[in-house]
Amino acid sequence: MMSDKPTLPKATRRTFLKGAAATGTGVALAGAAKAEGDPLITEVQSWAQGLGDGVDATPYGLPIQFEGDVVRRNVEWLTADTISSINFTPIHALDGTITPQGCAFERHHSGAIELRKEDYRLMINGMVDTPLVFSYEDIERFPRENHVYFCECAANTGMEWAGAQLNGAQFTHGMIHNMEYTGVPLRTLLEEAGLGAAGDLSDKWVYIEGADASSNGRSLPMEKALDDVLVAFKANGEALRMEHGYPVRLVVPGWEGNMWVKWLRRIEVMDGPVESREETSKYTDTLEDGTSRKWTWEMDAKSVVTSPSPQSPITHGPGPMVISGLAWSGRGRITRVDVSKDGGKTWETARLAKPGEKMALTRFYLDTEWDGGEMLLQSRAMDETGYVQPTKEALREVRGENSIYHNNCIQTWWVKPNGEAENVEVS
């Protein structure tokens, strides 16, 4: 991140200017502070006059104290207590795409449980040739895979249906995280138990339960179970955190977070869905006419500008600036993201930091100039199926305002001349 304080060393500065000319953003104005009269340049600082911490000061490191406000946060009035509740990833302060586990949102129905690997058991039963029980160690002996996927709670952005409500990308869009999972394909374990007894697999289901009191039971069509679902035990290289399902959770790429059963305990092969609480009274969408949609598993393409945003105002004045955000789709790759500064009247195509990956977060940037005026900032994602993220108005026309889940509308931030931003609705 460019600060407006230090003067860049000559060589760096020249390369930098060349780069700036190439992208045509005229970044030459940024970083124009003077060395003269700046004690941070002219005087030897305290940190250069003594020794720093030894290597074992923090055997498992935490972020430096100055980043101490980049934490998960909950919204107290949303739920009666913190046991059956949710908190939000500080997406306004992160960059790149990988969410560190320590600040990845949590959603529990009966609290996060402490389950030792030694006490861990996974049962596969029902219409299988041989019902099996795996220990943690057993699972680690099957061939494993690594994949990066986003997990989005279906309730993400759910508070915004009726109007702009929560003031910050963390709260409007922070029920999402994106990690690199290590795990065994669910297919492998089902095949180990043998699916001959299930006969024709095209109309079969699996019912998935967690070991916590809520169990969070969900039915999953066999087709998905045999496709890309993972029985995961590592995230971002290390063991799952307790709050994310240690020691083993289900990873259901592109599908609503509720199906990502944590503390995975039992998988039953069945000839139909269970229609449990979590897939009937919850995680269904009531439409205008009072009927409800069910089995809305896939997360539609969505995006949000993470900076600037209400918790991440512009602090540097007019001139070069980076607008940044995240885009994702439960149906595959993000192919393009457009950014509007005028509430959707005109659009510019953003730069994707990397080509979109299937069912994973994609980082976008718009390297641009700020004239110091107001902006109505929006982003609009497109995925490989040709789907375009809808406006709030368009979504309401189809879905009405009774919904909680699956709100993937275009978000607007009103950026003011003083650099502050506010959650507003323009369509």
Ligand X SMILES: Nc1nc2c(c(=O)[nH]1)N[C@H]1C(S)=C(S)[C@@H](COP(=O)(O)O)O[C@H]1N2
**Tokens representing residue 271 in the block:** 């000839």
Contact 241, 252 (CB under 8 A): no
Angstrom distance (rounded) from CA 95 to CA 305: 11
Task: Confirm or reject binding of residue 173 to Mo ion (CB under 5 A).
Answer: no
Nearest of 220, 222, 215 to residue 191 by alpha carbon: 222
Residue 252's binding partner among Mo ion, ligand X, none (Cβ under 5 to 8 angstroms by kind) is none
Angstrom distance (rounded) from CA 290 to CA 274: 23
Contact 220, 278 (CB under 8 A): no
- Residues 6 or more apart whose CB falls under 8 angstroms from that of 85 comprise 74, 78, 79, 107, 108
Residue 262's binding partner among Mo ion, ligand X, none (Cβ under 5 to 8 angstroms by kind) is ligand X
- Residue 107 or 144 having the CB closest to Mo ion: 107
Contact 326, 363 (CB under 8 A): yes
Q: Which of 72, 92, 109, 358 binds ligand X (CB under 6 A)?
A: 109
Q: Which of residues 369-398 bind ligand X (CB under 6 A)?
A: none
29-37, 38-46, 105-113, 290-298 -> range binding ligand X (CB under 6 A):
105-113
Task: Confirm or reject binding of residue 108 to ligand X (CB under 6 A).
Answer: yes
Residue closest to ligand X, measured at CB: 210
94-102, 111-119, 148-156, 310-318 -> range binding Mo ion (CB under 5 A):
148-156
Element (H, E) at 40: helix 39-42
Angstrom distance (rounded) from CA 266 to CA 250: 11
Angstrom distance (rounded) from CA 278 to CA 341: 39
Minimum separation from the CB atom of position 103 to ligand X (A)? 11
Q: Which of 97, 170, 178, 214 binds ligand X (CB under 6 A)?
A: 214
Q: Which of 99, 182, 258, 276 binds ligand X (CB under 6 A)?
A: 258
How many chain residues interact with Mo ion (CB under 5 A)?
A: 4
Kindly tell me the burial class for residue 31, based on how many C-beta atoms sit within 10 Å of its own C-beta (0-12, 13-18, 19 or more): middle
Minimum separation from the CB atom of position 295 to ligand X (A)? 16
140-148, 254-262, 345-353, 387-395 -> range binding ligand X (CB under 6 A):
254-262
Q: Which of residues 10-39 bind Mo ion (CB under 5 A)?
A: none
Q: Which of 97, 106, 268, 366 binds ligand X (CB under 6 A)?
A: 106
Q: Which of 92, 94, 105, 107 binds Mo ion (CB under 5 A)?
A: 107
Site string for ligand X, 155-184 (x = CB under 6 A): ----------------------x-------
- Residue 236 or 258 having the CB closest to Mo ion: 258
Cα dihedral 18→23→28→33 (10° resolution): -100
Chain residues in the site for Mo ion (CB under 5 A): 107, 153, 257-258
